[in-house]
Amino acid sequence: MWIRFSRFRFREGQEAAGSDVLRNHAKRIASADGCRDAWVGQGQHPSTEFVVIALFDSEDQLRRLEVRLRSDPAMGSDFFSLLRLTTEPPEVTQYEVRP
């Protein structure tokens, strides 16, 4: 299994708008082949920090999602709309779940 982890740091006062966009973004990710589920989490301290975590069956399926996010405007538009709300570019990392 593979985990896709994304961290977003929103400008003060942009948390609600960012949260709405991230929920849509997570739904699109969750609909990808091989994605078991995707979640959005908000930090407590600071509350301007959010994460999107998705669980995939295989690395190949995760890579196909990454290609779609970059090449399909319908899939990737949420991600790019977040850039105006954040203080810095998001961090996106992949992790392999090992037994």
Instruction: Tell me the C-alpha distance between 87 and 94, whole Å.
Output: 22
pLDDT digits (tens, 9 = 90+) for 51-95: 999 999 999 999 999 998 888 887 777 777 888 899 998 999 999
- 43-60 CB burial, b ≥16 within 10 A, e <16: eeeeebbbbbbbbbeeee
Please tell me the predicted confidence (pLDDT) of residue 11.
95
- What CATH number labels 2-96? 3.30.70.100
Please tell me the predicted confidence (pLDDT) of residue 79.
75
pLDDT digits (tens, 9 = 90+) for 9-50: 999 999 999 999 999 999 999 999 999 999 999 999 889 999
Instruction: Tell me the C-alpha distance between 28 and 12, whole Å.
Output: 26
The whole-model pTM stands at: 0.90
Contact (Cβ atoms closer than 8 angstroms) between residue 22 and residue 82: yes
Cβ contacts of 53 within 8 Å, gap of 6 or more: 3, 4, 5, 6, 38, 39, 41
